[in-house]
Amino acid sequence: MLRVYDPEKTLADCFRYRNQLGMDVVLEALRLWRERRRKKLDVLLKYARMRHVERAMRPYLKAMP
């Protein structure tokens, strides 16, 4: 179970638990975040560093328009 705090932390948690959730769910969450919250990339990367998933997340962030 994932608790929802704010969208950026939730997305970082999705990447942390990507093996349990499945990459299709994680990528859909990333796509929805990019559509709605594009301006908060710095906040997302802060949470990604805290959750130790920045290296896993960066290729997907770069690949998305």
Task: Give this prediction's pTM.
Answer: 0.84
In tens digits, the chain (65 residues) has pLDDT values of 666 688 899 999 999 999 999 999 999 999 999 988 777 899 999 999 999 999 999 999 999 87
Q: What is the pLDDT of residue 37?
A: 74
Task: Give the residue extent of every domain in the chain.
Answer: 7-63
Least Cα distance to 60 among 36, 29, 37, 39 occurs for 29
- H helix runs in the chain, sequence order: 7-16, 18-21, 23-36, 41-50, 54-63
Query: What is the distance between the alpha carbons of residues 17 and 63, in angstroms, rounded to a whole number?
Result: 21
